[in-house]
């Protein structure tokens, strides 16, 4: 069974759909919810973050996110950082993993992560370097690879060196069929059978989410 750990659309595969606080949430299917850094505003972010609390307590809420830091879009990074830290504390309170959106902000996030151990963290849509993968891997982070794996040459080496037990897959906004392409690419890069890849990725997803998806 393939698992799409981060998507913005419902589809036939096992999937965890990501929502923003302003979107209608599903009544029964698995989801994560958080304040995306693009939409964090200085005057409203804390009130909006507090609105997350009842949703984080629902049994089919599997994580907090996406949240994070984006140096190219959104408010000043100091505001994004405050919102991220607040959501991080919520995740710790409700014992939920965190799904991070990071753009040009690996260093800033790594410093925050280093001071807040214990919360499972996933770097979604990871496109960073081998060096950054190693630094975050030392902190126990998971890495989600999406459609960029199919088009960015440097990600072949990144995935090749990423610990197999820290890899998961996502479609994000790409078509659902991308998931099978990604699984095949992982099998090629890691040099193993697709059936083994599928089982390993399922195990990784379950470990990260703390929920039996089968």
Over the stretch 109-150, which tens digit does the pLDDT of each residue have?
998 877 776 789 999 999 999 999 999 999 999 999 999 999
Three-state DSSP state, 104: coil
Give the Cβ contact number of residue 192 at 10 Å. 13
Q: Which residues are CB-contacts of 100 (< 8 A; sequence separation ≥ 6)?
A: 65, 66, 67, 68, 109, 121, 122, 123, 124
The count of residues in the chain is 214
Q: What is the DSSP string of 27-71?
A: SSS-EEEE--GGG--TTTHHHHHHTTHHHHTSTTEEEEEEEEEES
- Cβ–Cβ < 8 Å for 41, 6: no
Q: Which residue, among 121, 102, 110, 103, has the nearest Cα to 168 in the 3D structure?
A: 121
Please give the pLDDT value at position 119.
86
Q: Which residue, among 65, 124, 77, has the nearest Cα to 105 in the 3D structure?
A: 77
Task: Classify strands 31-34 and 14-20 as parallel, antiparallel or unpaired.
Answer: parallel
What predicted TM-score, i.e. pTM, was given to this entire model? 0.95
- Cβ–Cβ < 8 Å for 146, 172: yes
Looking at domain 3-209, its CATH superfamily turns out to be: Metal-dependent hydrolases (3.20.20.140)
Region 185-209: mean pLDDT is: 97
Please give the pLDDT value at position 23.
82
Please give the pLDDT value at position 13.
87
Residue ranges of domains in the chain: 3-209
For the segment 8-35, what is each residue's pLDDT rounded down to a tens digit?
Answer: 988 888 999 999 888 888 777 999 999 9
């Amino acid at each position: 069974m393939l698992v799409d750990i981060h998507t913005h659309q419902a589809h036939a595969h096992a999937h965890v759909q990501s929502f923003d606080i302003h979107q209608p949430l599903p009544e029964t299917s698995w989801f994560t919810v958080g304040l995306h850094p693009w939409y964090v505003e200085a005057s409203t972010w804390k009130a909006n973050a507090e609105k997350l609390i009842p949703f984080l307590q629902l049994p089919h809420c599997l994580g907090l996110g996406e949240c994070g830091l984006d140096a190219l879009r959104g408010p000043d990074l100091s505001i994004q950082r405050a919102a991220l830290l607040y959501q991080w504390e919520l995740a710790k309170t409700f014992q939920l993993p965190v799904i991070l959106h990071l753009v040009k902000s690996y260093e800033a996030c790594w410093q925050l992560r280093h001071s807040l151990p214990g919360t499972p963290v996933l770097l979604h849509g990871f496109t960073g370097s081998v060096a950054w993968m190693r630094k975050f891997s030392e902190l126990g982070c998971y890495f989600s690879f999406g459609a960029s794996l199919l088009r960015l040459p440097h990600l072949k080496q990144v995935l090749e060196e990423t610990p197999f037990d820290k890899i998961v897959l996502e479609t994000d906004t790409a078509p659902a069929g991308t998931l099978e392409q990604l699984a095949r690419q992982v099998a090629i890069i890691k040099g193993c059978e697709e059936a083994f890849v599928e089982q390993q990725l399922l195990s990784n997803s379950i470990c990260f989410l703390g929920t039996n998806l089968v």
